[in-house]
A and B are shown apart, each in its own frame.
Chain A
């Protein structure tokens, strides 16, 4: 026991250092290169006005958001995998991303360009549409899977069905769009945090600060649920109630993250797998390590997406898949 705790501590320290390093490098990089000395000057108040604007209004919020939603998506995936006892579960597979995606596509289709949403307002409304869609999907999945209780396997199956239905509707509406809206929708669905600003940071921060500690507090129950319903009941856990609470945490996290970052796929699947590999399956260690890994991966992916083909950007979700999938394949072969 002592050993695992120490291991969790050292792995977390290394991840934190890595995040800090990437954070510093990422501050310098972009369409406009700003050397580290200038960065320090800018924060001192002795640097140029322009550097300050770029750093504080564009780069910082974007990186903070990458860290926050990376952690959120990873923890959401970890909870879903344990609750459904299915190694394949993640918010994308269960239809939560596509629920949010459908809401956004409908929003772009009906309101974009109409007088109702000229300019700024439309950008700020989109996350609400996404959040609404995510919760609608979760509600549908839970209700349709309900039959004197919800079993993990039924939850996954219903999720797959809902996902397929939403994906079909997304493509129907997307194909009716004009090319500009189509592109906007495609980029959103691929996952991107381009539009980040401090308002988004303030909007998502409470969700992350509330929900991740809540999940950590529930670690012991997750450990027990992972053993199966019968064992869990035998160990005195009110299975159905715990499952509902944990699902709520997971969906709320995924919904908030999707609302700001779009449909970032694969992170919720890969980060928990990686964390389990590093520190074992106990959630007390696995959840925080997943969160840190999620942050690190998303921060790195955003840096790559921003700079690889600059000045045009690659949606961060695509970079995550390109980084995550080969590693996942390697795990599969080695296992």
Chain B
């Protein structure tokens, strides 16, 4: 399988670039602040920056503007940033661990699992609350990834990247066909599509409260693992030779991916291409060291998703364009460029 070749080939000339990474992180955080501010300003009605400041420091429950800012726009902007970070970091970890440049959270069966549980929830539990649905899809994300990992570890020659991809696509096919059948039979297909293409448009504080702890724990674990992942990305034999316990690193890495994508999918539905493209862009700028790739991916991923979410509102107001479509439209040309430039290395 060609896609299985080490991707480091393309970037072998690069070196450790902490200064570049510092610039990326600082500039990225600055831009992120600006993007989040504009995410709060622009929408069906636009606000002044001063109104936002007032809503933050002297919240007035009687003011509609303050209500909108507090209850709709702020959780939305925050959720977009957190989900963008989660997906980008998950993608980076998976690409590093599997040494496969095509690896991204969606091949793990995570999104299909979440959709599966959502369709069951929408079809059989009539008055399921938002929180219940979110917890259901979180459980579904775990179910999908658990199935994929189980198949991988049951198989005789262990969990190779190719096997992971094959198992992922089989589990995805199985779960998503069952959920389509349920959706068509119980006439909830459109609800489900709205949910999984809906991005962060309906996010409330409850969702953000679930996201924050999970994402913080996930990101901290990812940073702690980043050194080991760099070693893993040199190849499993090299890693073992350097005295690394690859089994533990794989386990922890997978756990982090599960936490981060599970939370992201539960709140934001399927948002493609962030986890695939961002790590590549970041690797191009800061080199192949995951101690730098992981924090930079977190910042740039957040930036992309907040930006895409603003675009989702602006393109066809008052309708929302699915944010996953926008990330795909930004992502696909870049992906094609990568595929053409260095097909073999990718």
**Which residues of A are at the interface with B, using a C-beta cutoff of 8 A?**
85-88, 93, 144-145, 147, 151-154, 156-158, 160-162, 164-165, 167-169, 171-172, 174-176, 179, 182-183, 186-187, 190, 265-266, 269, 309, 312, 314-315, 317-322, 324-326, 328-329, 332-335
Q: Are B328 and A165 in contact (CB under 8 A)?
A: yes
Sample of 15 A–B contacts (CB below 8 Å): A88-B165, A147-B340, A157-B3, A158-B340, A161-B332, A162-B332, A165-B329, A168-B272, A171-B193, A172-B325, A175-B190, A183-B190, A186-B189, A320-B177, A322-B178
The complex places the Cα of A263 from the Cα of B2 at a distance, in Å, of: 27
Chain A proximity mask over B333-346: 1 for CB below 8 Å, otherwise 0: 00110111001101
B116: shortest Cβ distance to chain A, in Å?
12
**Does B322 make an interface contact (CB < 8 A)?**
yes
Contact residues, B124-174 vs A (CB, 8 A) = 151, 154-157, 162-163, 165-167, 169-171, 173-174
Number of interface residues of B (CB under 8 A): 52
The complex places the Cα of A335 from the Cα of B163 at a distance, in Å, of: 10
A165: shortest Cβ distance to chain B, in Å?
4
In the complex, the chain A residue whose C-beta lies closest to that of B324 is A168
Q: Return chain A residues, CB-CB under 8 Å to B185.
A: 309, 312, 314
Please classify the interface of chain A as helix (H, G, I), strand (E, B), loop, or mixed, using the class held by over half of its residues. helix
Q: Return chain A residues, CB-CB under 8 Å to B336.
A: 144, 158, 161
In the complex, the chain A residue whose C-beta lies closest to that of B337 is A161
The complex places the Cα of A245 from the Cα of B2 at a distance, in Å, of: 22
The complex places the Cα of A172 from the Cα of B165 at a distance, in Å, of: 27
- With A86-B1, A182-B189, A325-B171 known as contacts, the answer to whether A171 contacts B184 (CB < 8 A) is no
Chain A proximity mask over B176-189: 1 for CB below 8 Å, otherwise 0: 11101101110101
**Does B16 make an interface contact (CB < 8 A)?**
no
Q: Return chain A residues, CB-CB under 8 Å to B169.
A: 88, 93, 269
Please classify the interface of chain B as helix (H, G, I), strand (E, B), loop, or mixed, using the class held by over half of its residues. helix
Q: Return chain B residues, CB-CB under 8 Å to A167.
A: 328
Chain A proximity mask over B294-331: 1 for CB below 8 Å, otherwise 0: 00000000000000000000000001011011001101
Choice from A168, A174, A315, A320 contacting B193 with Cβ under 8 Å = A174
Q: Are B339 and A317 in contact (CB under 8 A)?
A: no
Q: Are B180 and A87 in contact (CB under 8 A)?
A: no
